[in-house]
Amino acid sequence: MTEIASPQASVSRRNVWVLVAAQAFLGAQMPMIFTIAGLAGQSLASNACWATLSISIMVIGSMLSATPLSAIMQKYGRRVGFMIGTSAGAFGAAIGAYGLYVQSFPIFLFGALFSGTYQSAQGFYRFAAADTASEAFRPKAISYVMAGGLLSAIIGPQLVKVTAGAFVVPFMGTYLAVILINIFGSLLFLGLKIAPPPPPRSDEARGRTKWELIKTPRIAVAVICATVSYALMNLVMTSSPLAVVGCGFQTANAADVVTAHVLAMYIPSFFTGSLIARFGAEKIIAIGLTILTAAGAVALTGVALPNFFGALILLGIGWNFGFIGATSMLAGAHTAQERGRMQGLNDLIVFGGVTFASLSSGGLMNCSGGTPQEGWYSVIIAMAPFLVLAGGALIWLAMRPKGPETA
């Protein structure tokens, strides 16, 4: 992690390390929740079709929180927004644990809504890494922060193995562990030094409106590719624990598959930023979409444990290239004054797509076929039209005449 020595570079490196630690420690709660939420929901819901509804509700919470959190960070700074995220994460986990204790599916779902606020706040870690970074260091800063998820991929599922059966009520221990992660992890942000951008003077341009921003070709394509990459990852990962267990394997096997998937999501981050700096974001996004297609092909070849591992590993790598590439493209396409409105709008759209994918995942998995295998194949086939959309948008951008309007 090198940058030209200067006070600003030192602050940038410090911020990146704080955000890497947050991604690693606080981020562990996301694979924990994704591993057990569908299984917990299956035990609470009266209809198996709603087993993954808590994950969908969590994503809805993320979508609804994105714009307010972005505005808060724009006005009061990143630290305040991130503290709000960890507070909501702890509160949501507490409600979820209580819902499990009293065997109430509605209460369990209500807790998931607040967990979504944490998820939304975590999504801004990557943007925060770019705030104080130089233009040359920006792709690497984003990539390093995403790489922090490598430890979360190890910590989260392993904590599930220890905590899922720790109490008489299944999975309640996992949610109690999430509370502690948020409480102690929030202390990391005391070391963050990112000042909010100064408000524009009355005679100073305030930048483009949201509509003007989203009409910019480069921004529009970045948002489409980020949404498709994240939504397809969520679509498949949400159903994977149900598919693994439904096809005759154990919860521990599902946790191992999720571990492999999340490792694959973040290990490439050690070099994704360098690849983007060398080859450009568009080419890296294209590679990511190709790998996502390969993940679907592997999943359709069978439901043996190696198929699940292979598909979910490719899914993670494809998400990494597609999502980090799109984030880097977006971060370089707006000004500091436009940051709050564009990043909030981006995550609103991204999590809107993820909400749709998450809602679809449980229904496709549990209600589109007579067996878990048929449901799993339905989930995988649903990836196709969205891959075509993102690939077509990227080709359209590449074929446009080069000029300021494409930036």
pLDDT by residue (tens digit) across 83-112? 999 999 999 999 999 999 999 999 999 999
pLDDT by residue (tens digit) across 158-208? 898 889 888 888 899 999 999 999 999 999 999 888 877 666 665 556 677
Task: Give the whole-number percent of the chain exceeding pLDDT 90.
Answer: 38
pLDDT by residue (tens digit) across 127-155? 888 777 777 777 778 878 878 878 887 88
Say how many domains are in the chain: 1
Residue 2 included in any domain: no
Q: Residue type for 319, please?
A: W
The mean pLDDT of 212-224, rounded to a whole number, is 87
Residue 13 included in any domain: yes
CA distances 361 to 88, 113, 167, 176, 242, Å, are 25, 18, 29, 26, 10
Structure token digits, residue 227: 């949404």
Residue 202 included in any domain: no
pTM to 2 decimal places:
0.73
Please, what's the b/e burial string for 228-257 (b: 16 or more CB within 10 A of its CB; e: otherwise)?
bbbbbbbbbbbbbbbbbbbbebebebbbbb
Residue 200 included in any domain: no
How many Å separate Cα 4 from the centre of its chain?
Answer: 31
Q: What's the length of the chain?
A: 407
Q: What is the CATH number of the domain that holds 314?
A: 1.20.1250.20
Domain range for 25 is 7-195+209-406
pLDDT by residue (tens digit) across 304-337? 999 999 999 999 999 999 998 998 888 777 766 6
pLDDT by residue (tens digit) across 384-397? 999 999 999 999 99
Q: Residue type for 76, please?
A: Y
Residues 6+ apart with CB under 8 A from 85: 69, 117, 118, 120, 121, 122
Residue 392 included in any domain: yes
Residue 1 included in any domain: no
